[in-house]
Amino acid sequence: FTPLTQVVMALCLSTTAQSAQSQDDPEMIWAKVKATNQFQRSVIANSGVVVEHVADDYVTVAGLQTEINQIKKKFDVEVSFPLKKNMLDYPGRDARFHNYDELMAAVKSLAQNNPDIVKVTEIGRSIEGRPIVNIKITEDAARNTQSKPAIIFMGGHHAREHLSVELPLMLAQYIVAKYRNGIQQAENTLANREIHIIPIVNPDGSEYDIQDGNYKYWRKNRRRNANGSYGVDLNRNYSFRWGTGGSSRSGSSDTFMGPKPFSEPETQAIQRFVSQQKNATMLVSFHTFSELILFPWGHSTSRISNQRDFEAHKRIATQMSEWNGYRPMQASQLYVASGITSDWAYGDQNLFAFTFELDPKSRFEGGFYPGASKIDVVFQKNLRPCLYMIGLADNPYKVLQNPSQRFGLRNSNILE
């Protein structure tokens, strides 16, 4: 890892990193497809499109025209149309969202102003050379004893999911502010927990999505693929059951799994970092959209074989859903998807793993670009679930005895 001073120097240098010479991005098509069960949804997802929303009798998807044409051969496509790439201006009405430089400045400020409880380290570089950083929050943060139970939060796997970056950043700022204000429960939490927050996994894709002031509807990183296309879907690039369904072998697809597991420097950074956190018990990955709390498995419709683990995942997700109103479920109940973060975290790293699909519920409420007014709403809805998981990190199985207990966070104004 790199000390903070070197990280800051690297951040300055990274601003000169430019996206590779861009070919015209293929036009993305939105479609509403009739599908009434899990099997049909998985067949649709396996075509390479991105399934955005699931209803009882249909799904909405985004993909290439060739992919939509293949779906039409097997399913009833009720409506389809090209997606506009300039849905909203950014900045402008969305100026409150942090671009990469603004995000790193906020992270730097948090660390410099709170060196006793915040340590920032570079855990890797993106394909274009941008530092990927972790924010460690705990008492005596400079020491690396791994003596306290730890939890890992991360956002920004997918470029256009900008809201998933704001939430982990705000969580870090909130916890630090409560500690600085002398809130006893915050002090107790940092005395007994190690909190890791990786606000953005895919900085190149995120910057590309907004680089000319208009959204590009971009999802992947910025890898130049063998066929001349760009991008690997980082959330299909993890090694556990990689390439077994719900991902594409075509570089042009939005769900391109990459040429091999962990082919991308971004996922390699996550692999290295997570595997080194021997005291971690839980991992949470934020995405948008659909208002869901998902847990393994995603690659298979089978349940986790360990009944105790399955029940604990289910109870934790169900409890959190009572606070944020999201729908809790096993990920593959939507459709099968392999090579995803949560399957790897649980199946390979033995961590309790959850994926939050944040607001809004549908494209008709803003989809990936719901506007800056959603930032505070989403943070408030998901603060209690995040604090609940921090409280559970010493022993997630205790939820089996008392699922509604907040485990050290009850009756504390850290929740306010």
Contact 127, 220 (CB under 8 A): no
Q: Using CA atoms, how far apart are residues 268 and 371, in angstroms rounded to an integer? A: 32
Catalytic option among 67, 207, 264, 357: 357
**CB-CB contact of 331 with 294 (8 Å):** yes
Q: Which residue has the tokens 């939105």?
A: 30
Give 311's contacts (C-beta < 8 A, 6+ positions apart): 400
Residue type (1 letter), 319: Q
The DSSP H or E segment spanning 29 is: strand 29-34
Element (H, E) at 353: strand 352-358
Helix pair angle (203-210, 100-113), 10° resolution? 130
Residue 282 phi, psi (nearest 5):
-140, 150
C-alpha 252: how far from its chain's center?
22
| N residues, the chain | 416
Instruction: Please confirm, yes or no, whether 357 is among the known catalytic residues.
Output: yes
**Using DSSP, how many helices (H) and how many strands (E) does the chain show?**
11, 12
As a whole number of angstroms, the longest Cα–Cα distance in the chain is 62
Contact between 133 and 188 (Cβ < 8 Å): no
Q: What is the per-residue burial (b if ≥16 Cβ within 10 Å, else e) of 189-201? A: bbebbbbbbbbbb
Question: 341 CB contacts (<8 Å, ≥6 apart)?
Answer: 154, 157, 235, 238, 270, 283, 285, 353, 355
415 contacts 383 by C-beta, under 8 angstroms: yes
Is 368 in contact with 160 (CB distance < 8 Å)?
yes
Long-range contacts of 1-9 (CB under 8 A, 24+ apart): 1/121, 1/122, 1/123, 2/121, 2/122, 2/131, 3/121, 4/108, 4/111, 4/112, 4/119, 4/120, 4/121, 6/122, 7/108, 7/120, 7/121, 7/122, 7/131, 7/133, 8/108
Whether the CB-CB separation of 406 and 414 falls below 8 Å is answered with no
Q: Which residues are catalytic?
A: 357
